[in-house]
Amino acid sequence: MAIKSFDTSKTDLNGKSILITGGTGSFGKMLLKAILRDHNPRRVIIFARGEYNHFLLQNSLPEEHVKKVRFFIGDVRDMDRLVMAMRGVDVVVHAAAQKQVPLAEYNPFECIRTNVIGAENVVQASIRAGVKQVIALSTDKAVNPINLYGASKLASDKIFVAANSLAAATGTRFAVVRYGNVLGSRGSVIPFFRDLLKKGATELPITDLRMTRFWITLEEAVNFTLSCMPIIQGGEIFVPKIPSMRLPDLVEALSPGMAIKNVGIRPGEKLHEIMITEHNASHTVDMDDRYVIEPEWHFWDRTNLVEKGYKTTPEGFEYSSDKNDDWLTVDELRDILATIPEGGE
Catalytic residues: 141
Say which residues have a Cβ less than 8 Å from residue 307's Cβ, sequence separation at least 6.
Answer: none
- Residue 277 vs residues 78, 141, 243, 283, 319: alpha-carbon distances, Å: 34, 12, 17, 11, 7
Whether residue 237 contacts residue 163, with contact meaning beta carbons closer than 8 Å, is answered with no
Whether residue 332 contacts residue 1, with contact meaning beta carbons closer than 8 Å, is answered with yes
Positive or negative: CA dihedral 237, 241, 246, 251: negative
